[in-house]
């Protein structure tokens, strides 16, 4: 029986061309984003369901909260613009501009997380909390203490939805940092973890949430150690898809959670 | 790397080179304006259903702009556009099937089984 040896020219593909006309890691990221959008869809649905079925649903957001959330929205929209410019610089081979645009995107993302953290801290101080959160001093006396007691589904869906989004933004900033600086970003991450851990009081959920940065730093270090590579334009584009998705989800959280629960006085 | 993948990456990069900064700036400005309109509406004391309809309409428009331009979907192949977007819309719409149950609870209350 004769053996048939199929030979391919050097560098030629042995696979059929992609049905979608794009590279596989981009299709992979799109599939992840589709599944992730169902996660957020379920959380947004839970919030909407709770709101519709609860007659005394609270509307706790004063103009200060709305102003804060509007600035956060502007930060995310601007970060998407700088991300697009980073992808553009990457395909043009302009490494310096690419890194600067990525840094700008990370700065906007970090600003969003800080403002969101401030918002959470204020709400918790006013008594809007979850049983799983550590007990802050003077709990049960703030403006929203009765909200947490009478309509517990508000705090559960609010913190669940916005917390999941905050985790996504934090991981997005870390993802972009790794893409931009690779191994050099690990010590920065560890520094950020220590800062977040030590600068927050023990009764703050962020005191424990800061450990997410440590876990991300360890996982990133293992990935960079197992597969060291220079990230190219396609990697930046795939990271950009993730970042834009995080922005896109906020475009629904902001009106549904904040603007529909505005406390209008007078 | 596989030559097919490399070729596809180069093709996508070539597409990106032809997009000017001005196009993205316009999209960004449009998104900011729509956000400003949303915030303005929040203080107009509109009837909740009307307010929700307008806000959701603007949000879908904003999401469409982000997906089409920032996420580059407008420039992808037709198969990619249809398969991803139709499956997403279908799955999210399926979730909404359960929403009328929330109105039922609102009108008849929760039956805790206590006689």
**What are the domain boundaries of chain B?**
3-108
Confidence of residue A8 (pLDDT cuts 50, 70, 90): low
ipTM associated with this complex: 0.87
**Residue of B5 and A64 predicted with greater confidence:** A64
Kindly give, in sequence order, each residue whose CB lies less than 8 Å from that of residue A33, ignoring residues fewer than 6 positions away. Answer: A241, A242, A245
Quote the pTM value. 0.88
Residue A150 near residue A80, CB atoms below 8 Å? no
pLDDT for position B4? 67
**Cβ of A245 and B63 within 8 Å?**
no
Give the domain CATH number at A160: 1.20.120.80
A34 touches chain B (CB under 8 A): yes
Mean pLDDT, range A87-109, rounded to an integer: 94
Is residue A204 over pLDDT 90? no
Q: How many domains does chain A have?
A: 1
What percent of chain A stands above pLDDT 70? Answer: 91
The segments of chain B whose pLDDT lies below 70 read 1-6, 8-18, 109-115
A196, with CB counted inside 10 A (0-12, 13-18, 19+), is: buried
User: Would you say residue A217 lies in a domain?
Assistant: no
- Residues within 8 A of A (CB atoms), B 35-74 only: 35, 38-39, 41-43, 45, 48, 51-52, 55-56, 58-59, 62-63, 66-67, 69-72
Q: Hey, of B6, B7, B8, which one would you mutate to test binding to chain A, going by the most A CBs within 10 A of its CB? A: B8
Q: Which residues pair with A262 in a beta bridge?
A: A61
> How many beta carbons lie within 10 A of that of residue B1, not counting itself?
10
Is residue A263 over pLDDT 90? no
User: Would you say residue A194 lies in a domain?
Assistant: no
**Cβ of A45 and B39 within 8 Å?**
no
User: Would you say residue A179 lies in a domain?
Assistant: no
Mean pLDDT, range A132-160, rounded to an integer: 80
Q: How far apart are CA A123 and CA A148, in angstroms?
A: 11
Q: How far is A193 from chain B (nearest CA, A)?
A: 31
What range does the domain containing A81 cover? 38-165+233-261
User: Would you say residue A176 lies in a domain?
Assistant: no
Q: How far apart are CA A32 and CA A30, in angstroms?
A: 5
pLDDT for position A202? 86
pLDDT for position B27? 96
Q: How far apart are CA A234 and CA A125, in angstroms?
A: 44
Confidence of residue A266 (pLDDT cuts 50, 70, 90): very low
Q: What's the mean pLDDT when you consider all of chain B?
A: 84
Q: What's the mean pLDDT when you consider all of chain A?
A: 88
Nearest to A256 by CA among B60, B56, B31: B56
Is residue A144 over pLDDT 60? yes
Q: What is the pLDDT of residues A206-256, one digit of tens each?
A: 998 999 999 999 999 999 999 888 888 999 999 999 999 999 999 999 999
């Amino acid at each position: 029986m004769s053996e048939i040896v199929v030979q391919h020219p050097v560098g030629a593909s042995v696979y059929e061309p992609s049905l979608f006309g794009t590279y596989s890691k981009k299709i992979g990221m799109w599939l992840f984003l589709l599944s992730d959008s169902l996660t957020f869809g379920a959380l947004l649905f839970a919030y909407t369901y709770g709101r519709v079925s609860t007659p005394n649903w609270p509307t706790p957001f004063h103009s200060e909260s709305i102003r804060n959330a509007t600035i956060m929205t502007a930060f995310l929209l601007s970060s998407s613009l700088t991300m697009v410019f980073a992808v553009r610089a990457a395909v043009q081979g302009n490494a310096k501009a690419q890194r600067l645009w990525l840094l700008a995107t990370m700065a906007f993302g970090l600003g969003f997380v800080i403002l969101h953290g401030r918002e959470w801290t204020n709400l918790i101080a006013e008594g809007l909390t979850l049983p799983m959160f550590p007990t802050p001093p003077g709990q049960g006396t703030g403006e929203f203490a009765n909200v947490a007691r009478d309509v517990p589904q508000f705090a559960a869906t609010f913190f669940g939805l916005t917390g999941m989004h905050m985790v996504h933004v934090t991981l997005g900033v870390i993802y972009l940092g790794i893409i931009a600086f690779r191994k050099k970003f690990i010590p920065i991450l560890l520094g950020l973890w220590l800062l977040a851990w030590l600068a927050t009081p023990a009764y703050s959920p962020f005191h424990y949430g800061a450990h997410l940065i440590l876990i991300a730093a360890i996982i990133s270090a293992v990935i960079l150690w197992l597969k060291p590579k220079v990230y190219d334009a396609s990697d930046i584009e795939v990271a950009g898809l993730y970042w834009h998705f995080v922005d896109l989800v906020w475009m629904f959280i902001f009106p549904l959670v904040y603007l529909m629960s505005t406390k209008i006085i007078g | 790397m596989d030559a097919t993948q490399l070729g596809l990456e180069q093709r996508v990069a070539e597409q990106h080179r032809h997009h000017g900064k001005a196009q993205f700036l316009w999209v960004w400005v449009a998104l900011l304006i729509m956000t400003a309109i949303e915030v303005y509406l929040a203080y107009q004391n509109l009837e909740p259903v009307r307010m929700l309809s307008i806000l959701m309409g603007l949000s879908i428009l904003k999401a469409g702009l982000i997906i089409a331009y920032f996420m580059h979907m407008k420039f992808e192949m037709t198969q990619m556009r249809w398969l991803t977007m139709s499956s997403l819309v279908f799955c999210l719409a399926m979730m909404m099937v359960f929403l009328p149950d929330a109105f039922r609870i609102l009108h008849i209350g929760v039956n805790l089984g206590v006689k």
